[in-house]
Amino acid sequence: MLVSLRLKAPVVLPCDPACSVLRDAVVDIDADGRIVHCGPSADAPELPSGAQVRELTGILVPGLVNTHAHTPMIPLRGLGGDLPLMRWLTEAIWPAEAKMIDRDSYDGMLLGSVEMLRAGVTTSVEMFFHGEHMAQAVLDTGGRVVLTPGIISAPGLERLGTWQQLAEHTTRWIDTDGLRFGPADRIELGYGPHSAYTLPPEAIAEISQMARDRGALMHIHVAETLAEDGKQREEHGSVPQLLEKIGALGGRVLAAHAVHLSDADIEIFQRHDVAVAHCPNSNAKLASGTARLLDLLGGNVRVGLGTDGPASNDDLDVWDEVRLAALLARLERGDAAALTAPRALLLATRDGAAAVGRDDIGALEPGRWADVVHVDVDSPAFPRGTEAPDVQLLSNLVWSAAASQVTDVWVAGQHVIGDHEPTRVDRAKAQAEVRRIAERIAH
Ligand SMILES: [Zn+2]
């Protein structure tokens, strides 16, 4: 395929397994939005006439992947701010969610998608309600989503329908529109059974079968806090054991949080290739605990990073997760090399994509979608700019850079953030809509 756009920068981080640092390099993109070449300028193929070249001054990285979010909850930010998980859910969040209407999922997702894109997060794995509105919001901003509409049976949320109705709705949607649709496969659908404490085992078993029949992702909360699943632990030992027993682990499964796992639980994840969305900020804020990241990685469990919902983090900034994941892993082992800066960066990119079962995003490699982020280095975070040696440059990026240094973002080669601002939607208008929803929920 012919190159239609070349992005050129002093540093390109393709996020290959070695986390190579390419100097004076290019990313070539075809008209469909796929990468056709990534490498040093000196080796770059000749450009066809008419191809556009964009010269940038900083670092190009793949778009970050947020593997666990409930982004339309943006209007609920700050509610029940200092409560532990179960009180936070039952006293603050579920009553507020009960006041949200269909259209709120659009407005919340729109502003959240803009927030993520501005931070260089091009893909998020979402669990929330009224999925059609969420899909439309992402199509409007130009982002990318793996959308697993929530399936839950919880007090106050009965108006959403029974778990059977919610699951069947997703099945009909997949069977009508396909597993992936939209320009450049921007939307992928999956199933979002909330958890083993909000659904009966037969529901999870049935939903997992629906997901497997369609090759779809099943995205479920597992072992987030010690208190949530007392009943399941008593009856089955643990939620992973329960999931294995009911045959729910055969397909593509993404377990969010997975904080309180025994060695036997980790073995279950290995046996069934269950991936984990590690959400250190949310787990710290709700005092839920710290997931055994190094044990999971050591056991070759696929792990990505997630922010969780904007009401429990309270941001959608995956750079923050990169830092906290590395900090907690180092503290746990008492070893500053326990999780290096490049390894932490890969968790948010290549590994995040792999955790979701996607080999078409998360790295700047031929054949993958050109989801590309430009990080400006004209900042105190980069004292030597791009002239720093590789190790220092990666340290600057991981430890000191901030989401605010992301200036430009492309999704499948389409320029969706330019000079910090969305190119396709009005950010002030999106902000005003969310304020309106937050006011309504408050009264
Ligand atoms: Zn969650």
pLDDT single digits (tens) 369-397: 999 999 999 999 999 999 999 999 999 99
pLDDT (0 to 100) of residue 115: 98
CA triplet 257, 217, 415: central angle to 5 degrees? 90
Dist. CA 62 → ligand 1 center (Å): 24
pLDDT (0 to 100) of residue 441: 92
pLDDT (0 to 100) of residue 311: 84
Entry pTM: 0.97
Dist. CA 348 → ligand 1 center (Å): 17
394 CB burial (10 A radius; 0-12, 13-18, 19+): buried
DSSP for residue 184: G
pLDDT (0 to 100) of residue 64: 98
CA pair distance 32, 48, nearest whole angstrom = 16
Specify the 3-state DSSP secondary structure of 64.
Answer: strand
Dist. CA 221 → ligand 1 center (Å): 6
- The rounded radius of gyration (Å) of the Cα atoms in the chain is 21
Tokens in use for 402? 């901030």
pLDDT (0 to 100) of residue 313: 84
DSSP 357-379: T-SSSSS--TTSB--EEEE---S
Dist. CA 3 → ligand 1 center (Å): 40
Dist. CA 202 → ligand 1 center (Å): 21
Dist. CA 200 → ligand 1 center (Å): 18
- The residue among 70, 319, 34, 304 whose CA lies nearest residue 195 is 70
Dist. CA 214 → ligand 1 center (Å): 23
Dist. CA 2 → ligand 1 center (Å): 41
Q: Is 149 left (phi over 0), alpha (psi -120 to 50) or beta?
A: beta
CA pair distance 12, 29, nearest whole angstrom = 14
CA pair distance 33, 55, nearest whole angstrom = 18
Dist. CA 112 → ligand 1 center (Å): 15
Around ion ligand 1, which residues have CB less than 5 A away? 308
pLDDT (0 to 100) of residue 83: 86
Dist. CA 305 → ligand 1 center (Å): 12
Q: Which residues of the chain are modeled with pLDDT < 70?
A: none
Dist. CA 44 → ligand 1 center (Å): 43
- The residue among 308, 302, 306, 338 whose CA lies nearest residue 322 is 306
DSSP for residue 338: S
Unique residue bearing structure tokens 């469990």: 301
Dist. CA 70 → ligand 1 center (Å): 7
Dist. CA 280 → ligand 1 center (Å): 12
Dist. CA 306 → ligand 1 center (Å): 9
pLDDT (0 to 100) of residue 121: 98
Q: What are residue 151's DSSP bridge partners?
A: 193
- Beta strands 59-62 and 22-30 are unpaired
For CA atoms 358, 362, 363, 364, the dihedral sign is positive
CA pair distance 371, 30, nearest whole angstrom = 12
Dist. CA 237 → ligand 1 center (Å): 22
Q: What is the pLDDT of residues 317-335, one digit of tens each?
A: 999 999 999 999 999 999 9
pLDDT (0 to 100) of residue 86: 85
Dist. CA 443 → ligand 1 center (Å): 25
Q: Show the beta-strand stretches assigned E in 258-405.
A: 275-278, 303-305, 372-375
Q: What is the pLDDT of residues 65-75, one digit of tens each?
A: 999 999 999 99
Dist. CA 21 → ligand 1 center (Å): 34
Unique residue bearing structure tokens 């597992």: 222
Unique residue bearing structure tokens 């809509």: 433
Dist. CA 20 → ligand 1 center (Å): 33
Could you give the C-alpha distances from 28 to 53, 107, 259, in angstroms and in order?
9, 34, 40
Dist. CA 438 → ligand 1 center (Å): 20
